[in-house]
Amino acid sequence: MISINYRDPRPIYEQVRDSFRRLIISGAMPPETKMPSVRELAASLTINPNTIQRAYKELEAEGYIYSVAAKGSFVSGISEALKKRKEELLADYSQLVKELVMCGATEEELIARLKEAENHD
């Protein structure tokens, strides 16, 4: 389900957050699925519970999950979260394309990369 790559330069909480994002967006964790408890997940990954708590807080702030007192965290309906994330990624993409063009990337190169990315899904 979730794995940590200690060679990845990203902080562990970001790896956990991003792994859950992918699972939620892909439908592997549908709405109303109960998230693993912070303690359970921390123990299974052998990492500090505060790291998991931070990942969960970010997921909740982004709208991917919600918490119920004394019951735990659950996957929310992701339409709003997905819309927000898409907007963020498109803004990042626009900035990246501008920089690529300034570096001399051609339209053909950019289109080829898009097609390549589509074919890898």
pLDDT in tens, 39-89: 999 999 999 999 999 999 999 998 899 999 999 999 998 666 677 778 888
Most confident of 4-8, 29-33, 50-54, 92-96: 50-54
Judge whether 97 and 111 are in contact, CB under 8 Å: no
Tokens of residue 93, six digits: 């993409």
> For 52, phi and psi rounded to 5 degrees?
-65, -45
* Closest listed residue to residue 21, CA positions, set 63, 51, 52: 63
First-to-last alpha carbon distance for the chain, in angstroms, is 19
